[in-house]
Amino acid sequence: MIKALRVFMLSAAMLCGSQLCYAYMVGPAKSLDQIVQESDLIVKATVLTSSTTQDAWFDKVAGFETCATGMHVVSVIKGNVPAMDIVFQHYGTSKTPPFAASYAPQFYDFEVGRSYIVFAKKTDTDGVFRQLWKNHLTKRDQGVVLAADDSPVTAKGVAGIIWTELTHLLASPDTKDVVYAIRQLDEMSNKQGRNQLQDFPRDRALKAIAHLLFSKNSEMAVPAIRAIGALSPYLDDSETPFWLTTIGGRKIPGLGERDAKADNAAARQYWRELAALADSDLPAEIRALAIRSLGRSNEAKILEVIPRWIKDREPLIRQAAAILLADFPGPETVQIIADLAKDPSAEVRVGVARAIGFGQFSGLLPLLDQFLRDAEPKVRTAAALSLISFATDKSEGILKKNLNDSNYASIFVNVLGERNPEPYLDRLCNVIEKQLEPTDFWGGQIPAYTSWHILFDYVQKQSPEALKSGRLDRCLDALERAKVYSSSEPRDLYAFYLKNGLTARAREFRDACKKTVSFDMEYYFNGVDREMPTRAAR
């Protein structure tokens, strides 16, 4: 009955919904007011030296070391210092192996000679201060802000001081300083962004950044475009799955939703500047980014300029224009997208596939079916992802037609099995046993994980007589052979067997688990035995 029980693994079943994915819990970013309140000391200081130190407050973390950075205080903003030279203790990246780490604490790497706004806690030693917290937040560099120079502060209030430093950095001859300032102003003003901060008024921050849109230095222009168009769901391809599960007719398992009500007001305000960039002689990548940044800006006049981008000689421009058409539903738009589907460039066909999903143009679903057999893998991937975002009653025919797709069968059978697993039991078993998933998987729940839960939900609804009849042995075997992705599955399956009188199968399953896994299963399953009266009652 149990032919080759695989090890039950503890592994991530879902990819997180943020752009950065951590295998550990990460706290939300803190407002500037919160950071000020937590700080015993806030100074503007210039870095003199930095060396490693020992302090019991700092845990040992692979890839990081405890640093003691000597600083000369330029201005005291909050608190008191016994002398103008202080020591700031903090985590820093290790300069000796091992360098790689699966976990990163809150850390700072300072540059000798540069000045910073530093937020710190007191220690028991006069003149020695340390970082505010051990674990980093979603905004990973909070607690220290690069300053423009080493001059004393003159602005009022912490927000005013940081604003002055960042806006002065925007005028720096050093590209890295400018890019840093753009990022900080964007992140600290974007209430609708990932960090949800509003330390500065959004309009004011973007106005300070906007003049860099036309910088001849692309390293400055690109982050400026990204800041202005930060709320466009089309800006990054990596956001496509999350946006599709947000606005589609079906939720894609394991993907977090974005804010469908987010207003891309900045792109609407600066749409003429962004359109001018799209029409410029800058590299195609920058021009396309400017077009993509206009997504969901709700500016009707943009539709008037899209036709010239559709005819552009650069495929990336035509692709961006195709994607942007998703914002303008209507018969004319549908026809334009259908015509673009014939474009010889794979990049443009990818844009068409995405536009169909972004616009939920159900009348164009046959194009996605066609794209599933495209010669270019990236076109097939874009088509498959858009297809599964549609309500299943609209996509069912195409999904059934492509159930033998060599790459996406595992995804398609799960979509169909969600509503009615009965016709797809063997296929679901196959996904579980062979751990099938696309070679270019876009993320979310691992297909075998989804299949396992669809199948387990199905067998739980069957009578004890049906379970004992042998008719469902194929399903039970698959559930047992699975390499599942959370600690509860073997426990739940064992409890399910006991509850339905499959005691012999439960015993054999338990014994096989004990032989196969690397951790102590005795306690693991004994817990189920202790809980069985309560579980049986449920």
Encoding tokens for residue 226? 């990204």
Residue 84: CB atoms within 10 A of its CB come to: 13
Q: Which residues sit opposite 51 in a β-bridge?
A: 68
Mean pLDDT (whole number) for 467-471: 96
**pLDDT value of position 15:** 42
For the cut 80, the answer to whether the pLDDT of residue 485 exceeds it is no
For the cut 60, the answer to whether the pLDDT of residue 522 exceeds it is no
Residue range 423-458, pLDDT digits in tens: 999 999 999 999 999 999 999 999 999 999 999 999
Mean pLDDT (whole number) for 353-367: 98
Encoding tokens for residue 219? 């390293």
Query: What domains can be seen in the chain, in order of their start residue?
Result: 26-148 (2.40.50.120), 232-389 (1.25.10.10), 447-537 (no CATH)
Mean pLDDT (whole number) for 293-315: 97
Give the alpha-carbon dihedral of 363, 397, 352, 356, to 10 degrees: 50
For the cut 50, the answer to whether the pLDDT of residue 178 exceeds it is yes
Give the percent of the chain with pLDDT over 70.
90
In whole angstroms, what is the distance from residue 150 CA to residue 164 CA? 13
Contact of 50 with 92, CB cutoff 8 Å: yes
Contact of 131 with 108, CB cutoff 8 Å: yes
How many angstroms from the chain centroid is the CA of residue 208? 28
Burial pattern 387-425, b for ≥16 Cβ within 10 A else e, equals bbbbeeeebeebbeebeebebbbbbbbbbbbbeebeebb
Q: What totals of helices (H) and strands (E) does the chain contain, helices first?
A: 24, 6
Instruction: Give residue 168's identity as a one-letter amino acid code.
Output: H
In whole angstroms, what is the distance from residue 6 CA to residue 518 CA? 12
What is each CA distance from 445 to 75, 218, 437, in whole angstroms? 51, 37, 10
Region for residue 253 given its phi and psi (left: phi exceeds 0; alpha: psi -120 to 50; beta: otherwise):
beta
3 state SS for 49-97: EEEECCCCCCCCCCCEEEEEEEEEEEEEEECCCCCCEEEEEEEEECCCC
Residue range 145-170, pLDDT digits in tens: 999 999 999 999 999 999 999 999 99
Angle, CA 331 vertex, CA 329 and CA 333 arms, to 5°: 55
> Band of the pLDDT at 8, cuts 50, 70, 90?
very low
Residue range 382-395, pLDDT digits in tens: 999 999 999 999 99
Q: Which residue has the tokens 């794979």?
A: 346
In whole angstroms, what is the distance from residue 264 CA to residue 233 CA? 9
Give the percent of the chain with pLDDT over 90.
85
Residue range 104-123, pLDDT digits in tens: 999 999 999 999 999 999 99
In whole angstroms, what is the distance from residue 93 CA to residue 134 CA? 14
Q: Which residue has the tokens 């039991």?
A: 425
Return the DSSP state at 263.
-
Instruction: Give 218's contacts (C-beta < 8 A, 6+ positions apart).
Output: 282, 283, 286
> Band of the pLDDT at 16, cuts 50, 70, 90?
very low
Q: What are phi and psi of 107, to 5 degrees?
A: -140, 160
Q: Which residues sit opposite 134 in a β-bridge?
A: none
Q: What are phi and psi of 106, to 5 degrees?
A: -70, 120
In whole angstroms, what is the distance from residue 5 CA to residue 478 CA? 9
How many angstroms from the chain centroid is the CA of residue 282? 29
Residue 58: CB atoms within 10 A of its CB come to: 19
What average pLDDT does the chain have?
A: 91
Residue range 18-52, pLDDT digits in tens: 444 556 788 999 999 999 999 999 999 999 999 99
Contact of 436 with 447, CB cutoff 8 Å: yes
**pLDDT value of position 132:** 98
In whole angstroms, what is the distance from residue 380 CA to residue 42 CA? 54
Instruction: Give 33's contacts (C-beta < 8 A, 6+ positions apart).
Output: 199
Output the DSSP codes for 400-463: HHTTT-TTTHHHHHHHHHHH--GGGHHHHHHHHHHT---TT---SS-HHHHHHHHHHHHHHTS-
Based on the number of CB atoms within 10 Å of its own CB, is 95 exposed (0-12), middle (13-18) or buried (19 or more)? exposed
Give the alpha-carbon dihedral of 251, 398, 400, 406, to 10 degrees: -90
Residue range 182-203, pLDDT digits in tens: 999 999 999 988 899 999 999 9
Residue range 203-246, pLDDT digits in tens: 999 999 999 999 999 999 999 999 999 999 999 999 999 999 99
Q: Which of 446, 443, 535, 454 is nearest to 498 (CA)?
A: 535
Residue 446: CB atoms within 10 A of its CB come to: 25
In whole angstroms, what is the distance from residue 17 CA to residue 27 CA? 14
For the cut 80, the answer to whether the pLDDT of residue 531 exceeds it is no
